[in-house]
Structure 1
C-alpha cells in the first residue's frame, strides 16, 4: 500500500518543481525528502520524478499519482476543518466564502441580521474568485460559500451541494442625460451604434457584454476597459459609453447614472437571422456547501438568513429607480 505522507510529498514536489522547496513546505530536510521519494518510487515500481539541472519534474506516472496526493491532501484538510468546527460549537464559528459583488450587496445585510440573531457565533468571511472559493469549500477552509454562474459556465461539482439563492439580471447602465432614460423598452439591437464600457482583464462581465451584443446581431465597440464597477459607472456618467452589469454589482449606484432593464429581442424572422433568447444573460447566485460533510448548526443558521435576505433582492415590485437602494432595507 502506498504511504500517505509520501503521496503528500509527491504532490508538493509536483507543484513546486523542487525537492528542496517541497521538503521546506513539509518541515523536512532535503535529504529526508529524497529518501522518502526514493522509497515511494520503490513502492510504485517505477520512476515518479526526473532530476533536472535545476529542480525536478514528474513523469507521467508521477503526475497522475501527484493528483491523487492532492485529493488526499484536500480530504485531510477537510477532516481537520470538521474537527475544528465541531470542537468549538460551544461558542460557535461559521466560515463563509464570498465574491466582490455579493460582499458589497446581500452579504452585509445577512451578516448584520445573523449577528443580531446569534451574537454568540463568530463569523469569518474569505473572499476569492470562483475557482478559489470552490477550492476553499473542498478543503474545508470555508463551510459555506456564495458562488455564481451563467448558463454557459454552470458550476457542476458532485462534491458540493448547490442551492440557488436568486437570479441576478443584467441591466443597462446609462447616464442620466441619456434619452434612453425615458424609454419604455430598450433592446440591445437598437444600441448597435453605441460605444461601450467593458470590464478589463477577461472579467466575466466582459464575456456577458460580448455574448449579449453578438446575440443581438452586432459586435460591441469598446471605448473603455474598467477595473471595477464604480469606475465603469463614472465613465458612463461622463458620456464615454454605455455598460452592462449584473444588478447586484450596482447596489451602490451613482446619482448620475440610471439602470434600465433590457427587453427581449423580437423573434427571428428567417433562418438566416441569429436566434436570440432572453434580453441579456442572467447570473445565478448560489449558496454552496460540502456534500461530504454535515453542516454545523451555525452554518445552517447562516444559510437560513442568506435565503431570507436574498428574497429581498428578488422583489418583483422593485422598479428601476429603487435598484440602487436595496441595501437600505
Structure 2
C-alpha cells in the first residue's frame, strides 16, 4: 500500500514506497518524465503522480526542476539518488539470494572429503545442510586429496574438502579456508609421557617407533618431524585410523593424530598436543574449480562447513 503524504514511521524514517524510488531513479537517469514513462511502460501522468507522492513523503520539497526540455534533479534530488540506488540494489541482492536459496533447496550436491575430515567436520556440516535443504540430492566420495582434486577437475564433484598434507598442488583451485589444524601425538595410556599436561616437542619422541600410513614420512603428517630436526622411524605401516589406535594402545609405537580425528580417540590412548613453533601442521580447505561458479547447493554446503569448522577443538 502506498504511504499517505508526509507519513512517517514511529522512528521518524519516511514511509517511502520502493516503487516511488524506482520511478524516481528512472526519471533522474533519463532527465525526462516522458522517457521514464516509456521505459517503465506507464503513462506520463502516472510517473508524475509517483514523483509527487515521493516528494510529499519526504517533506514536500521538489526533487526535480522542470526545464523547457526535460527535468533536472534539485539539490534534494541529487542527495536522494545514491540512497535510492542503495535501497534498490539491496532489494535486488535479496532477490538474488532468495532465488539461489530456492535453487539450492531442489538441487544436487556432489562433494568429496579426506578421511579425517569425514570423522568430525563433514558429518556436522552435512547434518546442518540436510536440515536446511532436505530435498537436495547428495552424493559423497572419500579419498586422498590428489584423488579428490582429480574428481573435481573431471566435473564429478562440485566441491572437495582437502588438506595441505601430501603436497598436493592446490594453486590451480579456488580455495575456501576452513581451518588450520594442530597435531597431537597418540601414546599408550601407560606411556611415560601420557600424564604430560603441556605440549610436547616431537624431538622428545625421536627414538620412538612410529605408526604411519606410509613407510616414507615425506608427504604425510610426519613431515612435521623434519621441521623439528629428526627423521622418524616408521615401525608399522597401518592405513586405517582405528587400526592405528589398536597398535598405539598395545604399546607398539606412537602416532600423529590431527585435530579433526582427536574426538574419536579410544580411552586407552592418550593424546599429547604437539608444539609446532613454525606453522600449523596443515591447513584444510574446501576446493572448487577456479573459473567455474559453484552451484547454490555447493555454496550452501560451504557455509555449513565453515560453521562446523569453527567448532573443531584444536583448530
TM-score surpassing 0.5?
yes
CA distance in 2 between partners of 1:261 and 1:180 (Å): 11
Could you list the per-position Cα deviations for residues 66-100 of structure 1 after superposition, in whole angstroms to 9, with x for gaps in the alignment?
xxxxxxxxxxxxxxxxxxxxxx8683111112121
Shift of 1:148: 0.8
After superposition, the C-alpha distances for 1:211-233 in whole angstroms (9 at most, x for unaligned) are 33333333323322212111111
Decide which structure has the larger Cα Rg and report it. 2
Shift of 1:234: 0.8
Q: Is this contact kept in 1: 2:159–2:298, CA < 8 A?
A: yes
Task: Give the C-alpha shift of residue 315 in structure 1.
Answer: 6.3
Structure ranking higher in helix proportion:
1
RMSD: 2.5
- After superposition, the Cα gap between the structure-2 partners of 1:264 and 1:166, relative to the gap in structure 1 and judged at 3 Å, is closer
Q: Which residue of 2 aligns with 1:123?
A: 138
On the 8 A contact 1:166/1:314 being kept in 2, the answer is no
What corresponds to 2:160 in structure 1? Answer: 145
Match of 1:303 in 2: 302
Partners of 1:189 and 1:89 in 2: CA distance: 49
Map Cα deviations across residues 205-264 of structure 1 (whole Å, 9 max, x no partner).
7x332x333333333233222121111111111011111122213432111001111224
Change over 3 Å in CA distance of 1:137–1:258 after alignment to 2: same
* Pair 144,213 (structure 1): closer, same or farther in 2 beyond 3 Å: closer
Aligned-residue offset at 1:178: 1.7
1:263 aligned to 275, 279, 287, which one? 275
1:164 and 2:163 aligned: no
CA shift in 2, pair 1:309/1:185, >3 Å: closer
Look up the SS of the partner of 1:135 in the other structure.
helix
Total equivalences in the alignment: 212
Match of 1:155 in 2: 170
CA–CA distance in structure 2, aligned partners of residues 166 and 136 of structure 1: 23
Structure 2 residues without counterparts, runs of 5 or longer: 1-102
1:249 alignment partner, one of 261, 264, 268: 261
> Normalising by the residue count of structure 2, what TM-score does the alignment of the two structures yield?
0.61
* Runs of 4+ residues over 6 Å off in structure 1: none
- Given candidates 212, 215, 222, the residue that maps to 2:227 is 215
Go from structure 1 to structure 2 and tell me whether the alpha carbon gap of 1:302 and 1:226 turns closer, same or farther (over 3 Å shift): same
The answer to whether residue 126 in structure 2 is matched with residue 111 in structure 1 is yes
Instruction: Work out the CA distance in 2 between the residues paired with 1:310 and 1:95.
Output: 19
Q: Which moved more, 1:254-263 or 1:120-129?
A: 120-129
Partner of residue 196, structure 1: 210
- 1:59 corresponds to: none
Q: How far 1:202 sits from its partner (Å)?
A: 5.0
